[in-house]
Chain A
Amino acid sequence: MISTEQGSNKDQTFELNLVPFIDVLSTCICFLLMTAIWINVGVMNVSQAIGSEPPANGKNPPSVIADIKNDGSVQLSLKDVGANKKPVMYDVRSSGGRIDWERVEAYVGTLQANIPELKTALVMPSARTKYEDVIRIMDMFKKSKITDIGIAPLTGT
Chain B
Amino acid sequence: MPQQLIKVRPTKTELMKLKRRLSLAKRVQKIVRDRLFILMIEFVETARESVETRRRLLGDFSEAYKALSIAAGYHGYIALEKELVATEADSKITTGSRNIAGVRLPSFELMRAERAIRGYSFVDTSSCVDQAAQLAERCLEPIAELAELQRSLELLGMEIERTKRISNALEYVMIPALQATMKYLYMKFEERDREEKTRLKRVKVLLHQE
Do A and B come from the same complex?
Answer: no
